[in-house]
Amino acid sequence: MTPRDYSRRTHGAKVAAIAAEMGQPLLPWQRYVADVALEVDNSGKLVYSTVLVTVPRQAGKTTLDLSASLQNALMGKNRRTWYTAQSGQHATEKFLEMVELWESSALRGLAPKARRSNGSAALPFVNGSKFRPFAPVEGALDGKQADKVSLDEFWYWTTAQFAILRQSFSATKLTREMVTGQRPQTWIFSTEGTVESTALNGMLDEFRSGAPDPTVAGFDWGILDDDDPFNLDRIYARHPGAGYLFTREGLDAFRTEFADSPGEFARAFGNRRTGATERVIPVEPWRAAAWGDPTPPAPGRVCFAAAVGVDGVDTTVTATQLHGPGTLSAVVKDGWMESTYGALDKLKEMRSKYPDAGFIIDPNGPSAALHDAAARDGFELIQIGTREVIAATQATVAGITNPAGPTWRYRPHPQLEAAAELATKRFAGDGTWLFGRRASVGSISALESANLGAYGIHHLPAVQSLQLG
**For residue range 428-449, what is the model confidence (pLDDT) as tens digits?**
766 688 887 765 556 899 999 9
Euclidean distance between CA atoms 359 and 350, whole angstroms: 10
The pLDDT-based confidence of 261 (bands split at 50, 70, 90) is low
pLDDT of residue 73: 97
pLDDT in tens, 23-47: 999 999 999 999 999 999 999 999 9
Residue 422's CATH number? 3.30.420.240
Q: What is the mean pLDDT of residues 101-108?
A: 92
Provide the greatest CA pair distance for the chain. 107
Nearest partner of 335 among 387, 410, 422, 229, judged by Cα: 410
Q: What is the mean pLDDT of residues 296-301?
A: 83
Q: Is the pLDDT of residue 60 over 50?
A: yes
Q: Does 176 reside within a domain?
A: yes
pLDDT of residue 240: 97
Q: Does 465 reside within a domain?
A: no
Q: Using CB atoms within 10 Å of the CB of residue 464, give its burial: 0 to 12 exposed, 13 to 18 middle, 19+ buried.
A: exposed
Euclidean distance between CA atoms 164 and 199, whole angstroms: 12
Q: Does 467 reside within a domain?
A: no
Q: Which residue among 173, 203, 221 closes a domain?
A: 221
Q: Does 274 reside within a domain?
A: no
Total structural domains in the chain? 2
Q: What is the mean pLDDT of residues 67-74?
A: 97
Q: What's the number of CA atoms in the CB half-sphere (13 Å) around residue 297? A: 20
The pLDDT-based confidence of 305 (bands split at 50, 70, 90) is very high
Residues 87 and 183 in one domain: yes
Residue 162's CATH number? 3.40.50.300
Residues 59 and 188 in one domain: yes
Residues 216 and 287 in one domain: no
Residues 64 and 188 in one domain: yes
The pLDDT-based confidence of 178 (bands split at 50, 70, 90) is confident
Contacting residues for 407 by C-beta, under 8 A, at least 6 apart: 324, 325, 326, 327, 399
Residues 52 and 168 in one domain: yes
Q: Does 163 reside within a domain?
A: yes
Domain membership of residue 293 as a residue range:
283-456
pLDDT of residue 351: 96
Which stretches of 177-311 are assigned E, i.e. beta strand? 185-190, 216-220, 303-308
pLDDT of residue 442: 66
Q: Does 200 reside within a domain?
A: yes
Q: What is the mean pLDDT of residues 60-65?
A: 95
Burial 329-343 (b: 16+ CB within 10 A, else e): bbbbeebbbeebeeb
Helices (H), 247-379: 248-257, 262-270, 283-288, 343-353, 368-376
The values of phi and psi at residue 163, to 5°, are -60, -40
Q: What is the mean pLDDT of residues 63-84?
A: 96
Q: Which residue among 221, 240, 271 closes a domain?
A: 221
The pLDDT-based confidence of 229 (bands split at 50, 70, 90) is confident
Output the average pLDDT for the chain.
90
Q: What is the mean pLDDT of residues 119-132?
A: 95
Residues 305 and 441 in one domain: yes
Residues 215 and 351 in one domain: no
**Whole-model pTM over 0.85:** no
Share of the chain above pLDDT 70, in %: 94
Residues 195 and 320 in one domain: no
Residues 105 and 192 in one domain: yes
Residues 207 and 324 in one domain: no
Which of 97-101, 161-165, 337-341 tops mean pLDDT?
Answer: 97-101
Q: Does 148 reside within a domain?
A: yes
Q: What is the mean pLDDT of residues 161-187?
A: 85
pLDDT of residue 467: 42
The pLDDT-based confidence of 469 (bands split at 50, 70, 90) is very low
Beta pairing, strands 148-151 & 185-190: parallel
Beta pairing, strands 148-151 & 80-84: parallel
Q: Does 250 reside within a domain?
A: no
Nearest partner of 94 among 164, 199, 185, 189, judged by Cα: 189
pLDDT in tens, 412-421: 998 998 888 8
Q: Which residue among 195, 221, 247 closes a domain?
A: 221
Residues 60 and 201 in one domain: yes
Contacting residues for 135 by C-beta, under 8 A, at least 6 apart: 84, 87, 88, 91
pLDDT of residue 441: 58
Residues 210 and 340 in one domain: no
